[in-house]
C-alpha cells in the first residue's frame, strides 16, 4: 500500500502552485504587467521633455515702430501684435504671459505676478527692448549646454512604477492570497497534513522572487525601448533592491493576512496601507514637494525607501552600499512584519 517512492519536494510543489495560480489568472497578468506599462506610456507622453518654451507676449503698438519690430523679430520670444482689448483677454486666459504696451512714451509691461512664467517673460522682453534701445552689455559671456541622463520625468517615473508595482504584487499576492485561502478553508486542509508550515510561507517568497525578476525586467526593457531610459547601475543590483523591497512588503502583508478571515476587510487593509504611500512616497512626483518636516517620516515609509533606492541605482548608478540606509528601512519593515505574523498566524 505504501510506496516509498521519491516524491517531488513539497517546497517546489508549493512554489509551483503559487506560480500557476498567478499565470493562470488573466486579470493578474493585466494588473502586474500591462497596467504599469500603460501608466508609463500615458505619463511618459504627457510629461515628455520638450524644448524650453519661449515666452508668449502680446505687443500693443503702432505697426512699424523700431521697438515693436525688435520684439516681433526676436528669436527669444513668441510675440504678436494685438489690439489692447484682445491682448487683455488673452492675458486673462493665460494665452499670453505678458503684454508690452508701446503706445505711451514710456513702455509698460502688464502681467499677473502670480503666474510662473511672467517674471521670465518680463526679463527676456526687457533685455530685448534695452538692447534695441542701444544698451551694450559690459560683460561678455558664453553658454555651454549639456543634457543629463536621468533628469527627464520618465527616468524619474520608471523606478517609481517598479516600486509601486512591487508593493502591489507583494501585498495582494501574499496577504490577500492567504486570507482567501483561509476563507476557502484551504489553510486548514493544509494544516492537517504533515506539510512543513515554514515551507508553505517560504513558497510565497520564492514565487515572489521569480516573478519580481520578470516584473522589473519588463518595465526596464520597456523604458529602454520606448523612452531610451538606461539603468545606470547594475541590473543585478536593481533586482537585489527589488527583492528586498518585495520581501519587505511580503512581511507587512503577511501580518495583514495572519488573522483576517474575510476578503472584504483584507481589501480594506490592503488599501489603507497602500494608498497613503502612493501619494507620499514619491512614485509620481518627488516627496520634496511636501513640507520639510514631513520628509523624515516619509523616508521611513517602505515604499519611499524602495523608490529612493531603485532611483539611486537606476539613475545615479548607486551600489548596494550606496543605498544602505534605504535597504535597512526595508529590512526592518519586512523582518518586523514577518516575525509578528509568525507569532499570530492562524491556520483556520
Binding site for other proteins (CB under 8 A): 1-5, 7-10, 12-14, 16-17, 20-21, 24-25, 184-186, 188-195, 347-348
Please state the closest distance from residue 340 (CB atom) to other proteins, in A.
23
- Residue with Cβ nearer other proteins (7 or 321): 7
- Contact in structure between 166 and 334 (CB atoms under 8 Å): no
Calculate the CA 344 to chain-centre distance.
34
- Residue with Cβ nearer other proteins (27 or 51): 27
Please state the closest distance from residue 346 (CB atom) to other proteins, in A.
11
Please state the closest distance from residue 8 (CB atom) to other proteins, in A.
5
- Residue with Cβ nearer other proteins (74 or 207): 207
- Residue with Cβ nearer other proteins (130 or 196): 196
Please state the closest distance from residue 3 (CB atom) to other proteins, in A.
6
- Residue with Cβ nearer other proteins (11 or 226): 11
Please state the closest distance from residue 257 (CB atom) to other proteins, in A.
16
- Residue with Cβ nearer other proteins (211 or 222): 211
- The CA distance from 209 to 247, in Å, is 8
Placement of cell 533592491 in the chain:
241
One-character DSSP codes across 36-103 = HHHHHHHHHHHT---PPPPPEEEEES-TT-HHHHHHHH-TT-EEEE--HHHHHHHHHTTSSSEEEE-S
Placement of cell 503559487 in the chain:
18
Please state the closest distance from residue 1 (CB atom) to other proteins, in A.
5
Distances (CA, A) of 183 to 193, 206, 262: 18, 23, 6
- The CA distance from 342 to 255, in Å, is 8
- Residue with Cβ nearer other proteins (208 or 311): 208
Placement of cell 505676478 in the chain:
113
- Residue with Cβ nearer other proteins (11 or 240): 11
- Contact in structure between 263 and 173 (CB atoms under 8 Å): no
Q: Alpha-carbon dihedral of residues 285, 290, 294, 300, nearest 10 degrees?
A: 0
- Residue with Cβ nearer other proteins (175 or 334): 175
Please state the closest distance from residue 193 (CB atom) to other proteins, in A.
4
State the CB neighbour count (10 A cutoff) for residue 331.
16
- The CA distance from 174 to 213, in Å, is 17
Please state the closest distance from residue 13 (CB atom) to other proteins, in A.
4
Q: Which residues of 64-101 are buried (b: 16+ CB within 10 A; e: fewer)?
A: eeebbebbbebeebebebbeeeebbebbeeeebbbbbb
- Contact in structure between 252 and 204 (CB atoms under 8 Å): no
- The most distant pair of C-alpha atoms in the chain lies apart, rounded to whole Å, by 110
Please state the closest distance from residue 30 (CB atom) to other proteins, in A.
16
Amino acid at each position: 500500500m505504501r510506496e516509498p517512492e521519491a516524491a517531488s519536494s513539497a517546497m517546489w510543489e508549493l512554489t509551483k502552485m503559487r506560480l500557476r495560480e498567478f499565470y493562470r489568472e488573466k486579470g493578474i497578468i493585466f494588473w502586474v504587467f500591462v497596467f504599469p506599462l500603460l501608466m508609463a506610456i500615458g505619463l511618459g507622453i504627457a510629461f515628455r521633455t520638450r524644448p524650453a518654451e519661449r515666452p508668449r507676449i502680446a505687443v500693443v503698438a503702432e505697426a512699424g515702430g523700431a521697438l515693436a519690430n525688435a520684439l516681433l523679430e526676436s528669436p527669444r520670444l513668441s510675440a504678436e501684435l494685438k489690439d489692447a482689448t484682445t491682448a487683455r483677454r488673452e492675458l486673462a486666459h493665460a494665452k499670453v504671459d505678458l503684454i508690452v504696451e508701446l503706445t505711451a512714451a514710456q513702455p509698460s509691461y502688464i502681467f499677473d505676478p502670480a503666474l510662473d512664467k511672467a517674471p521670465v517673460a518680463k526679463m527676456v522682453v526687457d533685455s530685448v527692448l534695452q538692447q534695441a534701445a542701444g544698451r551694450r552689455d559690459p560683460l561678455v559671456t558664453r553658454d555651454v549646454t549639456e543634457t543629463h541622463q536621468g533628469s527627464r520625468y520618465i527616468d524619474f517615473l520608471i523606478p517609481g512604477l517598479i516600486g509601486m508595482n512591487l508593493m502591489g504584487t507583494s501585498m495582494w499576492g501574499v496577504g490577500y492570497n492567504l486570507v482567501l485561502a483561509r476563507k476557502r478553508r484551504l489553510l486548514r486542509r493544509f494544516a492537517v497534513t504533515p506539510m512543513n508550515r515554514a515551507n508553505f510561507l517560504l513558497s510565497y517568497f520564492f514565487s515572489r522572487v521569480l516573478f519580481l525578476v520578470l516584473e522589473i525586467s519588463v518595465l526596464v526593457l520597456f523604458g529602454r525601448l520606448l523612452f531610451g531610459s538606461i539603468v545606470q547601475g547594475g541590473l543585478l543590483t536593481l533586482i537585489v533592491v527589488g527583492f528586498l523591497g518585495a520581501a519587505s512588503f511580503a512581511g507587512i502583508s503577511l501580518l495583514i493576512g495572519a488573522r483576517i478571515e474575510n476578503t472584504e476587510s483584507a481589501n480594506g487593509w490592503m488599501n489603507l496601507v497602500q494608498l497613503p504611500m502612493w501619494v507620499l512616497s514619491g512614485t509620481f512626483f518627488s516627496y520634496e514637494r511636501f513640507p520639510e518636516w514631513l520628509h523624515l517620516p516619509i523616508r521611513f515609509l517602505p515604499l519611499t525607501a524602495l523608490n529612493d533606492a531603485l532611483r539611486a541605482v537606476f539613475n545615479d548608478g548607486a551600489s548596494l552600499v550606496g543605498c544602505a540606509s534605504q535597504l535597512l528601512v526595508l529590512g526592518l519593515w519586512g523582518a518586523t512584519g514577518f516575525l509578528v505574523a509568525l507569532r499570530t498566524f492562524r491556520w483556520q
